[in-house]
Amino acid sequence: MPMSCWRLRHAALLTGCILLLSMPTAVPQPAAPPKAPGEVIDIGVVRPIVRVREIIAIPNFNAKSASAFKDPALLTNIIYNDLELSGYFRRPEHPEFVEQNHRADKRTGKIEFGEWLRLPAAFLLKGTYTLSDDQLEVDCLLYDVASGKRIFGKTFSDYTLAEHRILAHRIADFIIKYITHEEGIANTKILFVSSRLGHKEIFIMDVDGHNQHPLTAERSLTATPCWGANATEAYFTTYRDFNPDLCGVYSNGGKLWFISRRPGFNISPAWSEKAQRIALTLGKDGNSEIYTMDRNGQQLKRLTFNRAIDSSPSWSPQGNQIAFTSDRSGQPQLYIMDSEGFNARRLTFKGTYNDSTAWSPKGNKIAFTARHLGVFNIYLLDLETSDWIQLTHNQGNNEGPSWAPDGQHLVFTSDRTGTQQIYVMCIDGSGQTPLTSTGMNHSPAWSPAMP
């Protein structure tokens, strides 16, 4: 079967890229920058290998119906964007040739793969759509340009014109899934805190930065959002009643409820679907301690017992361990313990300020924020090799990473433009793209895979 041959070849190629990614190599350190007092100079990080991105050409879809989009690139722009975000593809450098080739194909009635190869393009997605009475249906054909073979053909139906973004995301996810065998993330969402209304509220947006809207109207201060049960709930901290209380809200808006109103902190929640519990920081004992509770805020279990700060819990994907920040050694460092609070042990012995753990969905890495020479950057801690992999390189301060459900992307906060904004990147540190620009935006939380 030629198609399965093709799939094997490309799957092997892409798997190779992923394997390369997971095997970081040491890079000679650049000349040491000037020493700041009290900082360790060499934290011995490794740089990831940046993955290869294949070029995909997507000419504008042709209308089969009488009515057509006002913007002919309505769907293709979204698909391009999603595919670039995935880190496996990039768009051709000369988009004018894409349309030129497409018109030539239409004249001759067949696809001139030689011309597409000269673009150059590895993949070609051709589509047609039918738009009638607000109903949208799209037929897609994906080709391997080198061999001229069709990879798949698929019809996407039952969408309204208003849902065209979801439709385009589904097409992008289908391509990703077919070629990489990974679940796509184009239809996932991101929670964050924004100050654009004059006070900090919890916002939600699509993963490409579109459709940003507030979930709360607390008119005080909100903080540390996380995703909750069934990927339909979100938990966050509100100062509405002049105490940092834990609240829940549905991610499609609407109802809001209190989960924990204990005196002092009820902050930094993290939900585990496996354990069906919220891990969070409570301040009721006089200092910050980590507890777990059920989704109603009951069945409280205390996990840490000391005078130091214990904060920012993050569940392992299996729900049996918790990574957290503690300054019991005198500085904030990363620790790990069982979900019952036993076997606490220190993970990081480098640097003087390590915080905001985020456990990868595959469980083998922890993303975190570290201060080095007074600048905050995002690192990955490989739990198998204990290597630190540096992902951001002093483009302002970068903090607060959160994993995409595919384990290939991270969202984080950076102040590289002067104000805090939310950025997305691949786990090789490539493709760092801003998602927000209005007001101050921070504390992003990437949703699990959407049903």
Partner 1 sequence: MKISRSYLASLFALVLSLAVFATGCRTSPQVRDHWWQLWRPAKPTTASIYPEDQILPPPPDIVDAQPLGQIQMLPLETPVPPEITPPEPAPIRVEPRGIVSELKTVYFDYDSAMLTSEARAMLENNAQWLLQHPGIQIQIEGHCDERGTIEYNYNLGQRRANSVKEYLLSKGIDPGTIHTISYGEERPVDPGHDAGAWKKNRRTQFLIY
Which residues here bind partner 1, judged by CB under 8 A? 200, 221, 223-224, 239, 241-244, 263-265, 267-268, 281, 283-288, 304-307, 309, 311-312, 325, 332, 341, 344-345, 353, 355-356, 369, 371, 374, 376, 397, 399-400, 413, 442-443
CB of 398 to partner 1, least distance (A): 10
**Residue 343 class from Cβ within 10 Å (0-12 exposed, 13-18 middle, 19+ buried)?**
exposed
Give the distance, in angstroms, between the CA of residue 249 and the centroid of all CA atoms in the same chain.
21
- CB closer to partner 1, 2 vs 374: 374
At position 403, the amino acid (one-letter code) is W
CB of 288 to partner 1, least distance (A): 5
CB of 278 to partner 1, least distance (A): 16
- CB closer to partner 1, 111 vs 280: 280
CB of 330 to partner 1, least distance (A): 11
Say how far apart CA 450 and CA 232 lie, in whole Å.
9
Say how far apart CA 376 and CA 401 lie, in whole Å.
12
CB of 303 to partner 1, least distance (A): 9
- CB closer to partner 1, 114 vs 330: 330
CB of 267 to partner 1, least distance (A): 6
Query: 96: Cβ–Cβ under 8 A, 6 or more apart, which residues?
Result: none
- CB closer to partner 1, 145 vs 378: 378
- CB closer to partner 1, 121 vs 323: 323
Strand 123-132 versus strand 54-57 pairing type: parallel
- CB closer to partner 1, 72 vs 264: 264
- CB closer to partner 1, 178 vs 239: 239
For residue 85, give the H/E element and its range.
Answer: helix 74-86
Query: 30: Cβ–Cβ under 8 A, 6 or more apart, which residues?
Result: none
Sign of the torsion angle spanned by Cα atoms 344, 347, 352, 355: negative
Question: Contact, 286 vs 309, CB < 8 A?
Answer: no
CB of 318 to partner 1, least distance (A): 22
What percent of the chain is helix, strand and coil (3-state, nearest 5)? 15, 40, 45
Report the chain's C-alpha Rg in angstroms.
Answer: 24
**Residue 75 class from Cβ within 10 Å (0-12 exposed, 13-18 middle, 19+ buried)?**
buried
Question: Contact, 295 vs 247, CB < 8 A?
Answer: no
- CB closer to partner 1, 76 vs 414: 414
- CB closer to partner 1, 86 vs 414: 414
Say how far apart CA 249 and CA 121 lie, in whole Å.
45
CB of 214 to partner 1, least distance (A): 17
DSSP 8-state symbol, 271: E
CB of 386 to partner 1, least distance (A): 20
Residue length of the chain? 451
